[in-house]
Amino acid sequence: MLFNSLGFAIFLPIVFLLYWFVAKRNLKLQNILLLVSSYYFYACWDYRFLFLLVFSTLLDYYTGLKMQDAKSEPLKKFWFWLSISVNLGFLGVFKYYNFFAESLAASLSTIGFEANFWTLKVILPVGISFYTFHGLSYVIDIYKGRIKPERNFIDYSVFVSFFPLLVAGPIERATHLLPQIQQKRVFIKANAIDGLRQILWGLFKKIVIADNCAEYANMVFNNSGEYSGSTHIVAAIFFAFQIYGDFSGYSDIALGTARLFGIDLLRNFAYPYFSRDIAEFWRRWHISLSTWFRDYLYIPLGGSKGGNWMRVRNTFIIFLVSGFWHGANWTFIAWGFLNALFIMPSIVFGTNRNNLETVAQGKTFASIREIGNILLTFAMSTFAWIFFRSKDMASAFHFIGEIFSTSVFSKPQNIRNEIVWLMVGFVIIEWLGREQKYALERFGMNWPRPFRWAFYYLILFLVFEYTGVDQQFIYFQF
């Protein structure tokens, strides 16, 4: 069930009404309703993988309790490693087994050994990387003594499976989400309206921006070689808009939906394309994953305590792992490697925390220098996206090769002007709202209601008018 589908448009109001009217006074009933509707939501993708989700939930819930009750450190360790290895084992089997088997076979064939490994013909359970990371953070936090295990199984299951975040995040932390699940929720009209506004903006990002950019990007990426160099550049830029619109749009819908139920989820995006350097970009892009890697990988590896060499090593490790988390393909690893490379100067020279505040804070326009830095950062991230989008390394290099051809100076082909204008409008609204949690949060709030509603109707109109070819949310595959 996609957020931008008719099914979800029916599902959400039903759950909302049951939640606030039928289960209104009973927290336990509200949580059971959230759990049942989340499982139904997940089963709509593929009911067979629901068992995997339930098993993973049970495992982490049980091992969490066992760690807490363990009489000795070795026993505590045993339960900890059991949970970690089973969680990563599932991820390894479903997501990475074929990659390793095929890569090993390819490596052996280069030295003359013909190996034909058995490969799995299974589809990747949607959201596995997300709910596995949920579970891992919970288990690690208990092991480290940061939190106590949750004894109520329903509450814990809602924490793992809450439908707005189940298939593509944000990757929540027990310290943030569990207390909200345990507490009685009160309906606050302003929050609910804000949630609807965020959903509307998320739909605009996904349907108008991402899906329409996807048509162009797919056309060129899938048939690279048939188009000019300049068209390749435009396609790479369109993909950068696509992936931002797609994933941040999904996150906006998830956050907005959660607010309708009185729950605040972690922010996942903070206008990353207005970043002035790559370090800032990574503080603003997929924040819940970046902070996850920071807390559960970078810091345990020593973080930046061991001097420059340790910082360089650990930075490379987290970017490579982050790339690999996205998918079992060398292209994702290359994407992670490139980002590590781009961030390296700021790590080595200690300038990675230079741009902590929002660009041109309190001003309408940025300075020329800031604009230059923003464009340079955007160009670097777009270049790295080419690897992310390409189906294999050869295609990525071929795509880059096509850019650097003589036709780079020709007029880009097949561009729909209205899409470009929509992108320009989108950038302007995002820029104006860059100090808010999402661009529409305060936009037009001082206007009289008829004007404000007219503006929302305009966005709705654009959502329906520019509904392109339905594209799956990119991050569902991870």
**Residues that are catalytic:** 326
Does the protein bind another protein through residue 196 (CB under 8 A)? yes
Q: Which residue has the tokens 């349907």?
A: 207
Options 185-193, 364-372, 374-382, 397-405: segment touching another protein (CB under 8 A): 185-193
d(CA 356, CA 378): 17
Tell me if 18 sits within 8 A of 33, measured CB to CB: yes
DSSP codes, 148-217: PPP--HHHHHHHHH-HHHHTT-----HHHHHHHHHSPP---HHHHHHHHHHHHHHHIIIIIIIHHHHHHH
Q: Specify the residue, 154 or 463, whose C-beta has the smaller distance to another protein.
A: 463
- Minimum CB distance to another protein, residue 463 (Å): 9
Options 156-164, 171-179, 184-192, 348-356: segment touching another protein (CB under 8 A): 184-192
Options 113-121, 191-199, 230-238, 430-438: segment touching another protein (CB under 8 A): 191-199
- Minimum CB distance to another protein, residue 464 (Å): 4
Among 70, 113, 129, which residue's Cα sits nearest to residue 322? 129
Q: How many chain residues are in contact with another protein, going by CB under 8 A? A: 22
Q: Specify the residue, 2 or 347, whose C-beta has the smaller distance to another protein.
A: 2
Does the protein bind another protein through residue 25 (CB under 8 A)? no
Q: Specify the residue, 413 or 436, whose C-beta has the smaller distance to another protein.
A: 413
In the region spanning residues 197 to 256, those forming contacts with another protein, defined by CB under 8 A, are 218-219, 222-223, 226
In the region spanning residues 364 to 423, those forming contacts with another protein, defined by CB under 8 A, are 413-414
Among 367, 371, 373, 385, which residue's Cα sits nearest to residue 279? 373
Among 284, 296, 265, 253, which residue's Cα sits nearest to residue 170? 265
d(CA 370, CA 309): 30
Q: Specify the residue, 219 or 408, whose C-beta has the smaller distance to another protein.
A: 219
Residue 166: phi and psi, rounded to 5, are -65, -45
- Minimum CB distance to another protein, residue 411 (Å): 13
Among positions 55, 100, 117, 187, the unique one binding another protein when judged by CB under 8 A: 187
Q: Specify the residue, 208 or 334, whose C-beta has the smaller distance to another protein.
A: 208
**Identity of the residue numbered 116:** N
In the region spanning residues 449 to 478, those forming contacts with another protein, defined by CB under 8 A, are 453, 456-457, 460-461, 464-465, 467
**Identity of the residue numbered 309:** W
Among 145, 141, 228, which residue's Cα sits nearest to residue 408? 228
Q: Could you give the angle at the alpha carbon of 114 between the alpha carbons of 113 and 120, nearest 5°?
A: 130
Q: Specify the residue, 6 or 111, whose C-beta has the smaller distance to another protein.
A: 6
In the region spanning residues 2 to 21, those forming contacts with another protein, defined by CB under 8 A, are 6, 20
Binding site for another protein (CB under 8 A): 6, 20, 187, 189, 192-193, 196, 218-219, 222-223, 226, 413-414, 453, 456-457, 460-461, 464-465, 467
